[in-house]
Amino acid sequence: MQLAIATGVTALATGLFLAPLSAELDDQAMRRALAIAQTTAAEPRLDDALKSSRPTQHGPVQNEAERIRAATGAEYVVIMDQRGVRWSHTDPNEIGHHVSTDPSTVLSGKEVMQIDEGTLGRSARGKVPLRDENGKVVGAVSVGISYESVQERLLSTVPELLAYAGGALAVGAVAAYLVARRLQRRTHDLAFSDISSLLAEREAMLHGIREGFLALDKHGRIRLMNDEAQRLLDLHAADTGRPLDETLPPGRTTDVLAGRVSGADLLAVSGQRVLVANRMPTDDGGAVVTLRDRTELERLGRELDGTRGLIDALRAQDHEHANRLHTLLGLLELGLYEEAVEFVTEAVGVHRATAEQVTERIRDPLLAALLVGKATVATERGASLSLSPEAFLPDRLVDPHGLVTVLGNLVDNALDATGGQRDARVEVEVRADGRTAVVQVCDNGPGVPEARRAEIFTEGWTTKEPPAHGRRGIGLALVRRLAERYGGSVSVGERAGGGAVFTVTVPDALSEELRESTHEASRHDGRTDAAAFGTSGASEGTQRPTGADDATDTAGAGR
């Protein structure tokens, strides 16, 4: 096909070159004939000879015309009088006869150039009026150049043109061969039908697999992506062809996909999704990135950790409950009935105080249940989880699940930071500031160095040992993403006396109706201002005996 195209282009170019060349040669021949005729008409005494002599074979007009014809190489030089009678001709027998073509135009004083047929055949002609010294037309000069000579000049150039055309064709054939060979190597000698089938199969495979697939070129532009990649990264089909840095926001996810972070099974966070990315470079300088969604796996892992902690807490509570029952049985057997009543009152009061303290200040049931469960985990890990006296959050949040994720991850991080140390304390403050929800978690752990505070919210960054079910470095990154999604912020500072303070603000987390309920709750629930979850204050109507502070600090151990 390429050879046929090269041949056609060469033939077309040759034809387009020959067509104007022929016209140009015709024009040159006519102008040359006209120039010879003008020179002949300008000869002195030619008009006098035309007036004073007769048209004969050896007359002065014939002799002058033949001299000029021989000198210029013209086919003929014909001089005629005003009647159109020839006074000169290459064939002496034609002298004295009328010319074969109409001479009226030239005898009227106009010059003529044309290609015409005459007695000598087809020729390029130039005709000029012959004037006397007064400017009066006394005759005409007609000069012809044989048209066959023009064709010979044209044909003489054909071999040279064909040589150039042949050279161009040879170059085109070599180029076509090289292109064909390169194409075969790049396509692994596959036919066009095979390539079409492979393309259809690839499209079906890419859009059918449940892993995200992203292909990048050497300039970092997106060449190809499947439906799953669009879903995981929140991209659109129109983003194909755009640079990766323009389609994704700055952060670890973009750095991982662009290859600025190396490694296998790299963790990245896109929105609320936890992704595992693997990047493989290609021979052309680009790369292929695969993405696996392990959001559900991470969620199940955290639930498994919580369930395991709850089981451990229940096991410990079983022992504690058995110990209390044994103590109660001993008091009854010893006849110490008043002491038995006091012991039961103390145990029941601690249980009731813990639930009331949480629900009076945290009106949302999901957050309240989360704090009670985390308190159990804290108790089993030897830590104290308390609720700040300023904590108050009304019910009917816009997105309670988001705040559950934020608060749960911050508490887990604080418990991990204080794990293994004596007198480990974690304080939680959740409050409403207008429509903005503020979540603050403090701990008395080692704190976060100021130089590392910008890194702890990066996906995959952690100083802890990975758990059995997966990897760390996800919780704080999710907290930051959730806060930024709602236009909020997250920060970490230093706690007075040592430790860390994590603060998250979430704007528009409460609906408009909550403003009135917040003020009303503040007016009617002033009695709970001193009742801190996990502190020494008790709720109204609860009798707490001496020594109940330690039990309250553990937040009821799961109740």
- Tell me the three state secondary structure of residue 13: helix
- Pinpoint the alpha helices (H) of 487-544: 514-524
Q: What is the pLDDT of residue 349?
A: 54
Same domain, 412 and 546: yes
> How far is CA 552 from its chain centroid?
57
Same domain, 403 and 538: yes
- Asked if residue 307 is part of any domain, the answer here is no
Q: What is the pLDDT of residue 503?
A: 92
How many domains does the structure of the chain reveal?
Answer: 3
- Asked if residue 479 is part of any domain, the answer here is yes
User: How many CB atoms lie under 10 A from the CB of residue 201?
Assistant: 10
Q: What is the pLDDT of residue 309?
A: 57
Same domain, 517 and 368: yes
Same domain, 412 and 501: yes
Please tell me the distance from the alpha carbon of residue 448 to that of residue 446, in angstroms, as a whole number: 7
- Asked if residue 201 is part of any domain, the answer here is no
- Pinpoint the alpha helices (H) of 272-395: 295-333, 337-361, 365-380
- Asked if residue 513 is part of any domain, the answer here is yes
Q: What is the pLDDT of residue 513?
A: 55
- Pick from 153, 175, 191: which residue ends a domain? 153
Q: What is the pTM of this model?
A: 0.41
Q: What is the pLDDT of residue 439?
A: 92
Same domain, 289 and 369: no
Residues of the chain below pLDDT 70: 2, 117-122, 147-154, 272, 297-299, 301-303, 305-310, 312-317, 319-320, 347-355, 459-474, 512-559
- Pick from 126, 153, 180: which residue ends a domain? 153
CATH code where residue 235 lies:
3.30.450.20
- Asked if residue 158 is part of any domain, the answer here is no
Q: Which domain holds residue 74?
A: 2-153
Same domain, 486 and 377: yes
- Asked if residue 537 is part of any domain, the answer here is yes
CATH code where residue 547 lies:
3.30.565.10
- Asked if residue 388 is part of any domain, the answer here is yes
Could you tell me which residues come within 8 angstroms of residue 271 by beta carbon, excluding any fewer than 6 positions away?
234, 481, 485
- Asked if residue 190 is part of any domain, the answer here is no
Please tell me the distance from the alpha carbon of residue 283 to that of residue 295, in angstroms, as a whole number: 32
List strand residue ranges (DSSP E) for 405-510, in order. 424-433, 436-443, 489-494, 500-506
Same domain, 375 and 518: yes
Same domain, 357 and 503: yes
Q: What is the pLDDT of residue 527?
A: 35
Same domain, 36 and 145: yes
Q: How do residues 312-352 score in pLDDT, each as one tens digit?
A: 666 666 766 777 788 888 888 888 888 887 877 776 655 55
Same domain, 399 and 548: yes
Same domain, 215 and 146: no
Residue with the two structure tokens 């902690």: 309
Same domain, 545 and 406: yes
- Pick from 153, 170, 194: which residue ends a domain? 153
